[in-house]
């Protein structure tokens, strides 16, 4: 295999109308809409409708979709009966992998790959994911989950249910924008995993379980948690030195670099602004992040990706660090499910080839002669 195709770099693995990236210009589009026009304007609910149902909703469609999300939010008996035990034994992303798998048993459309069933499951999974994270966090903290506030969005209710107090209107808006920014991103590793699973005509929950397991890794969604750990582990006066030491030791700096973007990740532009706005009278992590960004660029020419400023933003919003990747999954659920719908609608098994690099012409020996 040529070195430049290792990791399938630049290989087109599917056709999609869900999202598009121009890596050279640093532009991202959801169904043709520029992320800079959606961020801060479209809500996460409108964005999920756009991704899953192919169009921005009008008022009536948004109302109907919102009602479907609220109706689909309730967790079924199998999930409810097991969340406490799982919370005691598994870390957040492991727990989500288990809980989404259990949720399929409670889903009335569990096995169907019919288009209408996929749309219903996409809405239910999008509505349930924030509640799964909140229920997990409450169970491990020995607390209950506050009732959802019908006047709040998915973003506002998540902050209410995880931080335990009603967010300010601005906090809810900022978190909503975070969800919009993370909603979809072409053929990223977890979406590809979901599509490979869906392309066997397996069901949507199975595809989402594959995606969650893939998002968990530190080279993908796990990077935002690692960014926060890095910020917490270095002294505010020693940022430049710590970055240089890590690079000299051959370590990667989490939250930097991207397979596709050759310039600034457009999502990072918004997240940097949000981090600055939220930093207020606690500017430590924002300032450290800015300095890290400068040093990494000077030393390696790398730009921050979506995970870099998301870390300080989530920190300022009061979200526990070990839930950062789970928060990513709340948003990306809207994109994953859109891709599963698209895959099922025009399917062909995804089965690439491999280059064999092992021994050849081996001679068989019975076990006692080996």
Residues involved in catalysis: 220, 258, 307
| Comparison of 153 and 214: residue with beta carbon closer to ligand COA | 214
Please answer whether residues 178 and 274 qualify as being in contact, where contact means their C-beta atoms are separated by less than 8 angstroms.
yes
| Comparison of 102 and 333: residue with beta carbon closer to ligand COA | 333
Q: By Cβ distance, which residue is nearest to ligand COA?
A: 257
**265: closest CA among 309, 219, 212?**
309
Cβ 202 to ligand COA, closest distance in Å?
26
The residue behind tokens 């991207």 is 258
Residue numbers at the binding site for ligand COA (CB under 6 A): 7, 219-220, 223, 252-259, 300, 302, 305-307
Cβ 277 to ligand COA, closest distance in Å?
22
Alpha-carbon torsion 238, 239, 245, 249, what sign?
A: positive
| Comparison of 64 and 219: residue with beta carbon closer to ligand COA | 219
Cβ 315 to ligand COA, closest distance in Å?
17
Secondary structure string (H, E, C) spanning the chain: CCHHHHHHCCCCCCCCCCEEEECCCCEEEECCEEHHHHCCCCCHHHHHHHHHHCCCCCHHHHHHHHHHHHHHCCCCHHHHHHHHHHHHHCCHHHHHHHHHHHHHHCCCCCCCCCHHHHHHHHHHHHHHHHHHHHHHHHHHHCCCCCCCCCCCCHHHHHHHHHHCCCCCHHHHHHHHHHHHHCCCCCCCHHHHHHHHHHCCCCCHHHHHHHHHHHHCCCCCCCHHHHHHHHHHHCCHHHHHHHHHHHHHCCCCCCCECCCCCCCCCHHHHHHHHHHHHHHCCCCHHHHHHHHHHHHHHHHHCCCECHHHHHHHHHHHCCCCHHHHHHHHHHHHHHHHHHHHHHHHHCCCCCCCCCCCCCCCCCCCCCHHHC
CA distance 55 to 85: 40
When computed from its CA atoms, the radius of gyration of the chain, rounded to whole angstroms, is: 21
Cβ 305 to ligand COA, closest distance in Å?
4
| Comparison of 175 and 303: residue with beta carbon closer to ligand COA | 303
| Comparison of 155 and 253: residue with beta carbon closer to ligand COA | 253
Cβ 51 to ligand COA, closest distance in Å?
19
Cβ 68 to ligand COA, closest distance in Å?
31
CA distance 36 to 268: 11
| Comparison of 35 and 159: residue with beta carbon closer to ligand COA | 35
| Comparison of 70 and 302: residue with beta carbon closer to ligand COA | 302
Cβ 303 to ligand COA, closest distance in Å?
10
């Amino acid at each position: 295999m040529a070195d430049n195709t290792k990791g399938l770099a630049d290989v087109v693995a599917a056709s999609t109308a869900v999202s598009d990236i121009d890596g050279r210009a640093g532009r991202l589009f959801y169904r043709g809409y520029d992320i800079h026009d959606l961020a801060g304007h479209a809500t996460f609910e409108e964005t999920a409708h756009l991704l899953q149902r192919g169009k921005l909703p009008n008022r009536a469609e948004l109302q109907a979709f919102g009602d479907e999300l609220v109706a689909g939010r309730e967790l079924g008996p199998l999930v409810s009966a097991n969340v406490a035990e799982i919370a005691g034994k598994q870390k957040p992303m492991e727990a989500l992998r288990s809980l989404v798998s259990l949720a399929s048993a409670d889903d009335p459309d569990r096995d169907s790959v019919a288009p209408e069933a996929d749309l219903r499951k996409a809405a239910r999974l999008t509505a349930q994911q924030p509640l799964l994270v909140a229920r997990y966090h409450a169970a491990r903290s020995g607390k209950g989950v506050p009732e959802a506030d019908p006047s709040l969005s998915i973003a506002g209710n998540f902050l209410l249910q995880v931080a335990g107090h009603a967010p300010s209107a601005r906090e809810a808006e900022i978190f909503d924008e975070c969800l919009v920014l993370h909603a979809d991103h072409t053929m990223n590793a977890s979406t590809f995993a979901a599509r490979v699973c869906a392309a066997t005509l397996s069901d949507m929950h199975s595809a989402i379980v594959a995606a969650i397991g893939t998002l968990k890794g530190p080279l993908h969604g796990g990077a935002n948690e690692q960014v926060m750990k890095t910020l917490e582990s270095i002294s505010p006066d020693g940022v430049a030195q710590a970055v240089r030491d890590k690079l000299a030791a051959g370590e990667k700096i989490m939250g930097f670099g991207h397979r596709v973007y050759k310039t600034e990740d457009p999502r990072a532009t918004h997240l940097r602004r949000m981090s600055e706005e939220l930093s207020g009278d606690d500017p430590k992590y924002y300032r450290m992040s800015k300095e890290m960004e400068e040093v990494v660029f000077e030393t390696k020419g790398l730009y921050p990706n979506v995970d870099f400023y998301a870390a300080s933003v989530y920190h300022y919003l009061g979200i526990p660090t070990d839930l950062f990747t789970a928060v990513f999954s709340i948003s990306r659920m809207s994109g994953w499910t859109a891709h599963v719908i698209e895959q099922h609608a025009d399917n062909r098994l995804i089965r690439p080839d491999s280059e064999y690099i092992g021994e050849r012409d081996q001679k068989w020996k019975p076990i006692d002669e080996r």
